[in-house]
A and B are shown apart, each in its own frame.
Chain A
């Protein structure tokens, strides 16, 4: 027997075994470190100003922040005025290391804030819809801040979106920002209604919550306040808390002070006319840049 014949006799069964037993290989890779915009209403991390911040005001601990938010609810929107802590557009971000979130330790780069990276769209008010130029404000640690260069219009409604990725705002060290998972899924049009079309990692409660947010951002929805003093059309004095609870699907006790900020399309408030904006939030963002590149979206109203 030649060496080749011997090799053949060994190689054939080995090859056969290999064919029978081999599968696609998988190797672990280090999880990427990244900067990610934050939006976590359960932890009170919400870009401001924002309808969602007002909606969540009653869940805030007593203090200056809650007092200010309650003041905005009563006033019918955020204050206009100058770029102060309340009405500067402020988007928090975090540094994520190897898949585990840690406190941000980097600064944003204000020089990367411009009309192509931060969309400020007036969706209700004079000239709406209109894409406005932003003015960058000095950044604070872990936070991007801007302000509409033309200032706010009283009673107007705005949509603000921050762009991520290579065409978006950047950190002071040049790194790009990524969207948080909820915003990514919402802007990519994921259907949260079915477990077959949403990520398996979402619980039903999470999916339902995201579906609501997606619906609010995807429709031309007005928001408004419901007060307990009888000044809200269709809501008798003393019935504010119950009405808020009915609209938001929570216990009335959460609105003991009898006021809330709610999506205004609800039929639960008879006679409440609403004043729908000219565009949905997602459609407004698309006026400035592809909505799939948005890493943070806020909607808010300026008090009359």
Chain B
């Protein structure tokens, strides 16, 4: 099979607000505290954040939220480059991740037990460069949509110790468009779309060794998604040569192991402080490899190493009605400047978040959050990457409700 290592044919993902193509938890309460709540889950969203906390629920609980997520990247040509000049910016192309969870908790033989199901967006990508930009030979459009379907159980082992476990189904749907050459033939491009999924599992625990202090840990196993789909080449006849013809395409993409460890400290009754560390095993992301069924094999080097994030947040219940939240984070991504690509304008990120909640009546609250991610400017190195520097900003707004319906509640 003909194999091409195409540094210049860089189909791949983009976006994210954690290492690689991972996305920050967009549930409004989590987002408002920069995703630092592994030790402070309290509603159906614990299905994603820490299933052990499901055992604290009483009756049917719903957590439903929608999100607006926008990423903007500016590319600047290297100074003195004989070919590349000026700059380019990605076009506005927001995405709308959801966070929909339902859970039910009760007591069994004096032990809390909770079951939760739901769907979230654990990863993804969205980049839309101008059709005629100078890097069109690398990428024009990336649409990577990943959904995580979660089904988990939480169990209260001891009054101070809870554990959780369950299954995850990761589903990936992705589309890439790349110019076949420079802007002299803007009608020449290639498209790929593949989709598929993988099963994984989740383990978690929550412990409260002393009053006011909670320790949480959550582990999600990697999912190797086997995706298949179609590749299409749109080009003048002169550029349509075997094996660059329409064909089936497949890619195996690993969504890595994720580990979150954190503490939540209730400083005073109305004030909660959280601190969390996240580890993402992105060493599994060494390349994107798209294999065609009639001879083409497109390998895009990534060469990632593992990602590490430190997060923290504060939650202040000012009254029975109003709760205010804030958070911050620093993400040390595992990207490699030698294999950097405009398909994935990743970088180390400093993030800030604010938000709040309004409780209409006991059990029903509306939460909102706003997040800004300031990515460090990246200047690529080596001879493989698309030359230049990249500066990316990320804005996320989320709105949702949490409803302890009372259905099946013991009190």
A interface residues (Cβ-Cβ under 8 A, vs B): 13, 16-17, 19-32, 34, 36, 98-101, 178-181, 183-185, 188-191, 193-201
- What are the residues of chain B within 8 A of A98 when measuring CB–CB? 245
Contact of B97 among A20, A24, A32, A36 (CB under 8 A): A20
Stretch at the interface among B6-14, B274-282, B319-327: B6-14
B113-156: which residues lie under 8 A (CB-CB) from chain A?
119, 121, 134-135, 137-138, 141, 143-145, 147
Question: Are B236 and A196 closer than 8 Å at their CB atoms?
Answer: no
Stretch at the interface among B180-188, B201-209, B264-272, B367-375: B180-188
Q: Given A190-B182, A196-B83, list of 17 further CB < 8 A pairs?
A: A17-B119, A19-B96, A19-B98, A20-B121, A23-B175, A25-B193, A26-B229, A28-B230, A31-B245, A36-B237, A99-B245, A100-B242, A178-B237, A181-B239, A194-B82, A197-B182, A200-B181
B79-133: which residues lie under 8 A (CB-CB) from chain A?
82-84, 95-98, 100, 119, 121
Question: Are A23 and B145 closer than 8 Å at their CB atoms?
Answer: yes
Question: Are B229 and A17 closer than 8 Å at their CB atoms?
Answer: no
Among A19, A26, A31, A190, which residue has the most Cβ atoms of chain B within 10 A? A26
- What are the residues of chain A within 8 A of B119 when measuring CB–CB? 17
Question: Are B238 and A183 closer than 8 Å at their CB atoms?
Answer: yes
Contact of B83 among A19, A26, A185, A193 (CB under 8 A): A193
Instruction: Using known A-B contacts A23-B143, A25-B193, A191-B83, determine if residue A16 contacts B232 with beta carbons closer than 8 Å.
Output: no
> B66 to nearest A CB, angstroms?
6
- Bound together, the chains give a CA A276 to CA B247 distance in angstroms of 48
- What are the residues of chain B within 8 A of A179 when measuring CB–CB? 238
Instruction: Using known A-B contacts A20-B97, A20-B147, determine if residue A199 contacts B181 with beta carbons closer than 8 Å.
Output: yes
- What are the residues of chain A within 8 A of B141 when measuring CB–CB? 24
- Bound together, the chains give a CA A90 to CA B236 distance in angstroms of 25
Question: Are A184 and B239 closer than 8 Å at their CB atoms?
Answer: yes
Residue pairs across A and B with Cβ atoms less than 8 A apart, 13 shown, are A17-B98, A19-B98, A21-B173, A28-B232, A28-B247, A29-B246, A30-B246, A31-B240, A100-B242, A181-B241, A189-B184, A190-B181, A200-B180
Question: Are A22 and B246 closer than 8 Å at their CB atoms?
Answer: no
Question: Are B182 and A196 closer than 8 Å at their CB atoms?
Answer: yes
- Bound together, the chains give a CA A200 to CA B6 distance in angstroms of 7
Q: B218 at interface (Cβ–Cβ under 8 A)?
A: no
- Bound together, the chains give a CA A190 to CA B83 distance in angstroms of 12
Question: Are B242 and A101 closer than 8 Å at their CB atoms?
Answer: yes
- Bound together, the chains give a CA A185 to CA B173 distance in angstroms of 34
- Bound together, the chains give a CA A13 to CA B119 distance in angstroms of 10
> B389 to nearest A CB, angstroms?
15
Instruction: Using known A-B contacts A98-B245, A190-B182, A193-B82, determine if residue A199 contacts B238 with beta carbons closer than 8 Å.
Output: no
- Bound together, the chains give a CA A201 to CA B387 distance in angstroms of 19
Q: B171 at interface (Cβ–Cβ under 8 A)?
A: yes
Question: Are B180 and A199 closer than 8 Å at their CB atoms?
Answer: yes
Question: Are A196 and B238 closer than 8 Å at their CB atoms?
Answer: no
Which 5 A/B pairs are nearest by Cβ-Cβ distance? A99-B245, A184-B238, A26-B193, A23-B175, A28-B246
> A261 to nearest B CB, angstroms?
28
> B140 to nearest A CB, angstroms?
11
Q: B174 at interface (Cβ–Cβ under 8 A)?
A: yes
Question: Are B145 and A20 closer than 8 Å at their CB atoms?
Answer: yes
- What are the residues of chain A within 8 A of B181 when measuring CB–CB? 185, 190, 197-200
Question: Are B248 and A28 closer than 8 Å at their CB atoms?
Answer: yes
- What are the residues of chain B within 8 A of A196 when measuring CB–CB? 8, 83-84, 134-135, 137-138, 182, 386-387
> B71 to nearest A CB, angstroms?
16
- Bound together, the chains give a CA A181 to CA B188 distance in angstroms of 13
- What are the residues of chain B within 8 A of A199 when measuring CB–CB? 137, 180-181, 239
- Bound together, the chains give a CA A32 to CA B84 distance in angstroms of 34
- Bound together, the chains give a CA A179 to CA B240 distance in angstroms of 11
- Bound together, the chains give a CA A196 to CA B66 distance in angstroms of 39
Residue of A nearest to B135 (CB): A196
- Bound together, the chains give a CA A70 to CA B192 distance in angstroms of 50
